[in-house]
Amino acid sequence: MKVISLTFAFGLLTSLAQGLPSPAGGSPSGSVVAGRQATKFPSASGTRFTIDGQTRYFAGSNSYWIGFLTNTKDVDTVFDHLVTSGLKILRIWGFNDVTRKPGTGTVYFQLLSSSGSTINTGSDGLQRLDYVVSAAEKRGIKLIINFVNNWGDYGGMPAYVSAFGGSKEGWYTNSKAQAQYKKYIEAVVKRYVNSPAVFAWELANEPRCKGCNTDVIYKWATEISAYIRSLDPAHMITLGDEGFGLSGGTSYPYQTSEGVDFVKNLGIKDLDFGTFHLYPKSWGVDNSFGSGWVKDHAAACKKAGKPCLFEEYGTESDHCNIQKPWQQASLALAADGMGADLFWQWGDRLSSGQSPNDGNTIYYGSSDATCLISDHVRAMGST
């Protein structure tokens, strides 16, 4: 999802940091640095996921902003509410790129510059992510950690282009940009390589290469996933794409105009599962498009022998009536390609007020949450 507004997020950064864990050897304190854990890491089992010894269908959500919170009590609140809700997976932004060092108290993870980039491991940098990983570990929540954004929110590929030149479409083959991207990946992966909280590493949020041959993203994803595998052979890896380029329809999302071929990318050896998103309004299709979109991806994943993760989906109104059929379609295919779904996005009340609302937000304790979280988790049962 392209984040529409950053106003609230920057407001969150004015809070005072509380109780930051102290990194040891480049990792947060506690179990992350204690060596590889006895707890089995999440894995793919055919077209299903296995978490903590359970192989079944799982549900979760997205929170791009949680790693940028400076009040640790707010982080704890979110994770406690996730546990209470019965959700197991949370997808987060593991990136926050800038091209100019911000003022004191503003969180950023990486300063990009052609004269020498720096990775911020301080209390306003990756230590914020440390606390998120630690909080997830304590509560058994599993994290999908993303390394870069296709969009300009929180830096992303446009920030790399600003620092290293070239074009957005050329980012995938820009040697200077890719070298720094790999350095950042290495810093984050090594920081949490032993953490049982990591569900998967994710190459990018919604990678696109408009008008490009699909080989561009395919070759890039092949190289980067193999690189991550060399750093961490145990955790899963995924692409983070929207699922474009698929047989079964002729509308825009089924085409490869964004340089994405879902089935082709699904075949990459070091990618453990497929991802797809769903935003009918943004894509110019009807809301009824959703269930068929889910079924066509499930069929592709079943054929490939890998799980599909329905990674993002949302509407700006009538959340329950529109999105519930999508959830039901995914759950119905739990034995035929679908492994889990994560709605966009989680909403909560924090010390500074409500978390960001882009219209798609499902707030904890709301009637929408009853429909799309409580009822959904109940319907899952032991599926």
Active-site amino acid positions:
206, 312
Half-sphere exposure of residue 261: CA atoms within 13 angstroms, side-chain side: 15
Contact residues for 103 (Cβ-Cβ < 8 A; gap 6+)? none
CA torsion angle 22 72 231 201 (round to 10):
180
Which residues pair with residue 353 across a beta bridge? 350
Phi and psi at residue 231, in whole multiples of 5°?
-85, -30
Give the β-pairing of 362-363 and 346-347: parallel
| % helix, strand, coil for the chain, step of 5 | 40, 20, 45
What is the radius of gyration, based on Cα positions, of the chain? 19
As a whole number of angstroms, the distance between CA 319 and CA 173 comes to: 39
Contact in structure between 359 and 319 (CB atoms under 8 Å): no
Q: Residue 225 — left, alpha, or beta (φ > 0 → left; ψ -120 to 50 → alpha)?
A: alpha
Residue 137's CB: how many other CB atoms inside 10 A?
A: 23
Residue 13's CB: how many other CB atoms inside 10 A?
A: 20
**The token pair that represents 134 in the structure block:** 């630690």
